[in-house]
Amino acid sequence: MSLWVWLLLACLFAYAWKLVGYLLPASLLQNPRMSRMAGTMTIGLLASLTIVNTLASGQALVPDARLGALAAAAVALFLRAPFLVVVLAGAGAAALLRLGGWN
Amino acid sequence: MPITWPPKLLRSPAVRVGLSISVATGLYGVSFGALSVTSGLDFWQTMALSFLLFSGGSQFAFIGVVAGGGSGFAAMGAATLLGMRNGIYGMQLNVLLRPRGWRRYAAAQLTIDESTATSTGQSDPDEQHRGFWAAGIGILVLWNVFTAVGALAGGALGDPKQWGLDGAAVAAFLGLLWPRLKGREPVAIAVVCALATVLAVPFVPAGVPILIAAVVAAVIGWLSHGRQDEGLEPDIDPYAERHPGQHAGTGGAT
């Protein structure tokens, strides 16, 4: 139940960000520092999410088959594979490594 | 904006780009839907994210935090911080398209990486309008259809680990990060934030390391003076094939 509340709040705030650009005078947001922070935060958050999903298991750092998924995805991206292929490469690598006995 | 129907509309280059980017982006809604239900969200929560939140990175962030055992608050925090760039897009599009009345509120919901890039990549004002609406509406529809497909398929899979779906989440985030790593500085930011995350994981509750990384990234953004639109590249560049090696992203067009 409470997840619904946070989820709907997330939706509300997401729309608020989008709308704020249309409603505020451009000069207010045309601050180069704001744009830059939006960009660096996007990079930082996605890097953090990547690493958390690769290594974290609750509050422990656990190296497991997900490292293989990261490597496979990196190779796929390097070869300019489309997003879906990248995701499938990650899933396939993790599944195969587990089949091979590495958790 | 005058309403014109095909075939004239389909002759518009911006509409063609908008529709092809809709298919490319829409398809990866399958990944989102499948990962969302295996992260512990139910079908309707998954659909609410795709329809109401409607911003790929933020949606993946929300389910990524939940999957890692983070609180709803941390999930909301990560999604909201990742949504900040949409405010910058909104500002650019407001100057470019000047939507009025109800269109402004509809345009706001459709403001995402890809619709912004499709619009700003055009130079003719009419084409900028058509590109934005074609990409925005096209992606909204297909993203939701394919989210539903993925959510139904993911729910039928059984043990998600057996299929490597946690590996799929890793790959998805790397796939979202990758197009933004152009040059030395974004790579440095990514490395610093990844390190901050690894250091924080053992000491704070799940989900919080991501918020710490966001603060680190914000401080870097505040203090440094690199390219203004760094990190604001779309997940899928609509013009990637026409201009190889050079992104048509935000702020480049006049």
Under 8 Å CB pairs connecting chains A and B tally to 345
pTM: 0.85
Report the chain A residue with the minimal C-alpha distance to residue B226: A36
Determine whether the interchain pair A21/B49 forms a contact, defined as Cβ–Cβ distance below 8 Å: no
The model's pLDDT over A51-90, given as tens digits with 9 standing for 90+, comes to: 999 999 888 999 999 999 999 999 999 999 998 899 999 9
pLDDT, tens digit, for every residue of B197-214? 999 999 998 889 999 999
Residues of A in contact with B45 (CB under 8 A): 3-4, 7
- Alpha carbon separation from B236 to A28, B51, B56, B143, B249 (Å, rounded): 29, 19, 11, 14, 10
pLDDT the model gives residue B245: 43
CB contact under 8 A, A47 and B24: no
% of chain B residues with pLDDT over 90 = 63
**What's the ipTM?**
0.93
φ, ψ for residue A60, nearest 5 deg:
-105, 150
Positive/negative CA dihedral, B12, B18, B19, B20: positive
Average pLDDT over residues A22-51: 86
CB contact under 8 A, A53 and B175: no
Choosing among A40, A67, A86, which should be mutated to test the B contact, i.e. which has the most B CBs within 10 A? A40
Proportion of chain B above pLDDT 70, given as a percent:
91
Does B243 have pLDDT greater than 70? Answer: no
pLDDT for residue B55 is more than 80: yes
Report, as an integer, the average pLDDT of B111-127: 91
CA distances to A77, B39, B44, B215, B243 from B210, rounded to whole Å, are 23, 17, 26, 9, 34
Residues of B in contact with A11 (CB under 8 A): 48-49, 52-53
